Every structure is written in C-alpha cells, then in structure tokens.
Structure 1
Amino acid sequence: MKLNFINFSDPKDYQYFLLIGNEIVLKQEAISSIYLNLKDKGFKEKITLTQDELEKIQEILTKNIGGSLFQENLILHVKHSSGRFPEKIKFILEDKNIFQSANIAIIIESSIEKTPTSGSWIKNFDDAGMIINCNKLKSVEEKIWLKRKLSFLPDHLLPVFGGSIYQNNEANLLGQKNEVALLELLFLNQEHFNELKTDHIVFGSGISAFELEDLLINRNFNKALNAVKYMEEHDPQSSAPIIWIIAKVINSCIASIQSTNKKNALVNSGVWSSKISAYLELIKHSKVQEFMDLNNEILKIDLINKGLLKAETWEQIERAILKLQDVTALQN
C-alpha cells in the first residue's frame, strides 16, 4: 500500500513499513505513530540498525522468524541515510517469507525520494506493507498539516495563530512544530500541563509565558512592560509568542464577558482554574466593545509582525498592553 504522508493517520494492521523522502519531521511523526501502534500489539523489543550495520539484518531475521525462545515480538528498524537503496535490503525483501512472520515488524527508514516502478522487492512490500512518502509537502498540504496540529485551538483563534505560524515558518516544518508546541502549552488545562516539560517557553528575560500572562491578568502592567522591553532588546525573536499570550488573554476576556456563565467560558478558553478569579476581577468593570477593539489591534499587530503592515512590532505590543490597562481600569 502506497500513500503520501498527508493521507497517513493510522498504521492499521500492518507490520511492515517503508518510509521514503527528505522531510525528517514527517518521518519522525510517522515512526512515532507506528511504534505506538506496534506496542499496543505486543511488540516490546526493538533493534535499530544503521546503514553501516546492514550485514546483521539476515542474522537477526533468521534468529527471530517463527518465534524466539521467549516468544518476543521484535521491531527491526533499519535506517538507510544516503545513496541508492541498498542491495542487501532488496535481496532480503525479495523473499516473500519475510512478510509471513507474526512476531517480526520491520520499519525501513530510507533517504530515497521515490520508489522504483518495478522489482520483486518493492512489489512484495507494496503487497504486504505500507509505503509512506515523506517528501516535502506542497503548500496546501503544509497548511492542512499545520491545521491538524492546531486542533486544540478554539475555532475563532485558528486564523490568528495558524496564519502567524505559517507566515513565519513557511516550508519549515520544524519551526512550525516548535511554535505549535509552545502555543499548545498556553491552551492546555493544568492537569495536562503538569505532565509536560516547559523549558522552551522561558524567554530571554527569564520570565515564562505563563508568568507574563499572570502579570497581565493581575494588572501588574509596569512589570509586564519592563519584561517586554527587556525581551525586545535581548530576545527579539520572541515577538510572536508574546502576541499570542496577549491575544489569549483578550479573547478569553471577550468569551467570558459575552457569556452568561463567565467561569465556564474561561474554562472553555483554556484558562486554568487557579487563574479564573483573576480573570473575573480583570473584566469586572469592562465592556465587551472595548475588548473587541483591542482584539482588532492585536490582529493588526500580528500582520505587522508578519511584515504585511508597516509599523514597529514591539512598539505596538507595548501600546496594546497600555490599552489593556485602560480597558480594565479599576473604578472607584
């Protein structure tokens, strides 16, 4: 079975996989999915061979076909990293019996960018296994891939964040993947957050994304502005994540103000339970239209950051924080 990565979602019942192409991120995702699927089927043992160790393949297969002494299910992961597809692997795959063993799964990760149209080895693999094309995605496919990655976002925020990530990292899946990972942490509930590492969302100032959110919702605007000025000087590439944090605060406030159940609206917006009271206090005297206007400002800043509008991004970020201070001003 042959398919492009964009159409790959489930390894199904296959035990034999050939991954081709030059997009490392896609290969890593496919292999992770395959490993999880095989693990669920009882494949616990794994042997990984590099291109320089191909002479060991036949010995490993011979020892394990039909079951080993302890009946382990084995995953054989072969990595071919350069040059033509190795003749040693072709020779082994020409034997149909290789694909008949219930206790062996084979993953071949190859640098070739296309498979041959003929040959018994490729026919055997096509008949018994899954061949996944992990070459560079077309522009439309890349946007589909990114949209799937951002499935955790509320629908109304997808154009803002998705557009920003794609614009800043077009044709760079690793860059997109890293920014999605950061953004996902901002929208995870607290239980899931506690299970993850968060080192990569600490800015150059030493302040984390979550601490910046805390400064904003607790109306510590002077410290927030000082942190932003420091980041502008020492970590200028962090502008997009900072825009996202401000946008999250604003959109969470809008959702709560407009809802009859303000607490539930905040929960549905990804606000942690420990921060709900601060959000409710922040919007206590605010009007929805003021936040809608501020949201439009954030959309403009996002366009500025992408280079689609002319203005200074960091200056506009500071202005947005000052406007947030105004629209949430405490009343006597």
Structure 2
Amino acid sequence: MTSPSTLAKPKPAASPLARLRSIPHLGLLAVLIAIVIFASVRTDAFLNPNNLINVARQVSVVAVIAAGLTLLMVAGGMDFSMGGNVAVTTAVAAQMLSHGWSTAVTLAVSIALSIAVGLVNGAVVTFTRVAPFVATLATATLLDGVALLVIDGMSISIDDHLSTLGNGKTLGLPNLTFVAALVLAVTAFVMRYTTFGRDAFAIGGNEDVARLSGINVVRDKLLLYGLAGALSGLAGIMLLSRLAASSPGTGGLQLQLTAVAAVVIGGTSLAGGKGTIGGTILGVLLLGVVANVLNLLQISSYYQQISVGAVLLVAAVANLMQSRGKH
C-alpha cells in the first residue's frame, strides 16, 4: 500500500505576480500600452478612427517584411537587402504599369524578380560562407542603385492602378492590413506547426548539429532567403499601391532598419534559434505608434530616425545580455 508520504504533492498555485510574469512579451506590451495612454492624453487626434486606420495602413508594409525577417533570423540568417528589394520592386512595377502592362503580368514579374534576388542572397551566403550581414548589405547598396536607374531618379506615377489594394477597405479596415495579417498568420503557423519551421529553429540553434540530424540545411536556407525575397516583393507592391508612385527613396535602408528593429525588439535572437511572430507584431506596432505620435506632436522627423536607431541599439544589447545569461 502506498504511504501518504510517497504520494506526489500537488504543486502550489502560482501567485498572481508569477502568472503576470509568465505573459509573453509583457515588458514590450507594457511599453506599448504606456505610449498609447500618453498619446491619448497629449493629443485627441491619436484615437481618431481615421488616424488609427492610417497607422494600420502604414505598419502593414513593415509587418510583411518583418514576418519574413523573423523566420530568416530564427534560422540564424539575416537579409539587409529586403528594403532595397522593395525599392526595386516598386520601381519595376511602376514602370511596367505606367507603360501599359497588365496588373497581373506586372505582379508576376515583380514577385519573380524579388524571389530571384532572395535566392541570389541565399546562394552567396550558403555556398561562399560570406557573412549574411556583409553579403546582404552589399546587395542592398546594389539594389538601391538599380532602383534609381529603373526610374531614372524621377517619380513614376501609377495613377489608380492598385488603388483597391492600397486605399480600399474591408469591414472598415484597410485591405493592406488584411494582407499583412494573413502573411503574419501563415508565418506563425509555419514556425510553430510545420517541419520546415522546426528545422529553421534547429538550424539557428546549431547549424552543424542540424546537418548531422539529417536536415537539408542548404535547401532550407535557400528556401528561407527565397521566401524573404518573395515577401519583399509583396511589401513593395503594397507600398506602391499605398503611395501610387515610385520615387527616389521609396523603400531602401530606412524601411529595412525599421523592420530589423521591430524584429529584434520583439525578442528574436540575433544569433538564431529563438523568435516569435507575436513579439514581432508588438515590435512593429510599437515603432508605428511612436512614429505616429511624433508626427501628431509635430516633432521633427529627424527624431524618428533617432528613435528607431536608439530602440534598435537598446534591444540588441538587451538581446545579447539575455542570451549570455542563459549560458
């Protein structure tokens, strides 16, 4: 007969504080709520439905880039050329639409081009062992130049092409937001429930061990960079539909840094092996709300760049310290 002393003791109920601490990304969520409250108090325009819709429309493009970047960074990769890929996509699509090409052909060519750029990045990183940061930063510089050549340094209007996507609404929300939500949902599903997603985490954790475990690392890395390219192309089409024109400075490094900052703020490890789409969403929203608040308070746009850089630096340091603390 089993004695009472050998019976498993029930675990004590978690305290409210412990349950609170177990909430994912609690600190980031608290900061976002605090900024929303501050903005609501300082300006009545922030909670205006039109302003909130505008914020949702603006962050949608960054969210799509950030989704692809999250999956890539989880696998230990990095692509600093996604913003440049966006710039080239908008330039090529704008020129094609302005010269009478059909929307379907334009979209197909633009997305195919962006996938090709991603695959080239993946091939360079995978087969030459050049550091992803160096390889993709070089590609980013090249793509920014190509985008300027394609539009000849001028602004190319697409009139009302893609206006349904860029300015249309469904159920009161921007169509761009639904596209971004779908991309984020699919990416989250892939990361959590598919073999490909689990392999990405394994590659990011230790590429050599992943290879020895039977994972086709070369194939998966090429697919990840190709996917990052595809989402860059989609983001480029979304941005073009919102702006209705491609101009010098559309996309590029500033857009890329915002996406990187959002992903890192959201807790994705720079070393790979850790990351969530939920954290990335909060990071995207935080940067989008901060930019909107600075605009509403009529603070110089230069401070927006400063804020993104500062937040990225703080998040990178915190990310590194957290990683060291686990070893």
TM-score normalised per structure 1: 0.25
Q: TM-score, normalised by structure 2?
A: 0.25
Larger radius of gyration: 1
Higher relative contact order (CA 8 A, sep 6+): 2
Q: Would you tell me which structure has more helix in proportion to its own residues?
A: 2
